[in-house]
Amino acid sequence: MAIQSEIAASVFDIGARAKRAALIGLLMLAAIVAAGSIAQAQTFTVLHGFSGPEGSQPNAGLTMDRAGNLYGTASLGGYTGGNCYNGCGTVFKLSQKNSGWVLTVLHAFMLSDGALPMARVVLGPDGSLYGTTNGGGPHQQGVVYRLQPSSTFCRAVQCPWTETIVYGFSGGVDGGAPGYGDLTFDSAGNIYGTTSEGGAFGQGTVFELTPANNGWTKKILYSFQGNGDASGPFSGVIFDAHGNLYGTTVLGGTDTYGTVYELTPSGSGWSESVLHSFTQFGDDGNQPYGGLTFDPSGNLYGATFMGGNRGSGTVYELTPSQNGWDFNVLYSFNSYEGAIGAMTVGPDGKLYGTQLDGNVDVFQLMPSGGGWSLTGFFGMSESFPFGNVIFGPSGNLFFTTAGSGGVGSGAVVEITP
């Protein structure tokens, strides 16, 4: 498959990292196209189709600022020197101009400053963009980076931003290879995130970065242990109203098929609890690559890539109760429709997500008749949407695809109700 071969040919030394290669390889199984009975009432518009120099294969979702500009990452493309055979990836901005959209490359990674950005960028409290790369950096194990606009007026059409490496992972006890997870800020401006590898037990970490003396101080909040504990967090973490952190892992747990976990602060650090262990053959699903989302009532939502009673992934809910958390499957996908990105709770209270189906890009899930019903929006053939969807101020949906669009290197797409 074209997408899989491009990733395999451009992951630098990632091919030697067996676990990471296995995780990435699993994602590409979704190339099998499933047929479905799904209605389309929306309009799809490709805002931009990517080509190599500006980036290709945008695997992560998008971020919108108050002015309506879109920001995102492309995992490949851009700079192709050194060991970046198909490019080290880029960070881009899409701005509306007249009736169209104009793409600006804010930064092209060069391996030494990061490579393979698989997570989206987020806006920090200082107005800068923050994100992670899966590889590259001083130790070739990925970085946390910050992008700031130029402090001087730029007359050029393409005005790159200034990149700063906030932290370069070593792959040892400090972690390595951040995955698809967003970075999260607390009210004090501290950064929280995960690595899929490294840590005290080599099973991944949750970390905190604290501003200090014009730099950042890094602290490991938790090192996953495997062997019944969680292992391999590919998504980020989110806060609840009480300061607890929640996330998912694609491995570990009772059956080693992934978990939902909680981290609770205490006087001596952070304590971890596995809220749910996914099963290999159960109806609950397995391999939850995507992260978690809260609704206004404090319920957690997520999706799995595989498993469930149809073998193709699930959408699930965790509801707080007196005994902890109650787990419920809201929907089981058909025929390789599994989801990678996190769920989005829409302004209408419905759940929205993306599917790696090849025919259906975005789905909508809503309560119906005592259960939940799914409506899918037809998209582009072999588009491979990995990330989440976001809503614009007019109720339009925006998302990225790693395939299709332009010359087949990915696209930014808008769905108009």
Q: E-assigned strands of 7-59?
A: 43-49
Tell which residue, 206, 344, 178, 321, has the closest CA to residue 264.
206
DSSP 192-221: EEEESB-STTSS-EEEEEEEETTEEEEEEE
What confidence score (pLDDT) does residue 12 get?
Answer: 40
DSSP 141-185: S-EEEEEE--SS---SSS-PPEEEEEEE--SSTT-B---SPPPEE
Residue 222 one-letter amino acid: Y
Domain ranges of the chain: 2-416
Query: Is residue 141 within 8 Å of 91, Cβ to Cβ?
Result: no
In the DSSP assignment, the letter for residue 297 is: T
CATH classification code of 2-416: 2.130.10.130
The H or E element that residue 113 is part of is none
What confidence score (pLDDT) does residue 35 get?
Answer: 29
What confidence score (pLDDT) does residue 66 get?
Answer: 94
Query: Is residue 248 within 8 Å of 131, Cβ to Cβ?
Result: no
How many CA atoms, within 13 angstroms, populate the side-chain half-sphere of residue 289? Answer: 30
pTM above 0.85, yes or no: yes
Q: What is the pLDDT along the chain (417 residues), one digit of tens a residue?
A: 333 333 334 334 433 443 443 344 444 333 322 323 334 457 889 999 998 789 999 999 999 999 999 999 999 999 877 778 889 999 999 999 888 999 999 999 999 999 999 999 999 999 999 999 999 999 999 999 999 987 766 665 567 789 999 999 999 999 999 999 999 999 999 999 999 999 999 999 999 999 998 899 999 999 999 989 999 999 999 999 999 999 999 999 999 999 999 999 988 889 999 999 999 999 999 999 999 999 999 999 999 999 999 888 999 999 999 889 999 999 998 866 688 999 999 999 999 999 876 567 899 999 888 889 888 887 777 788 999 999 999 999 999 999 876 667 899 999 997
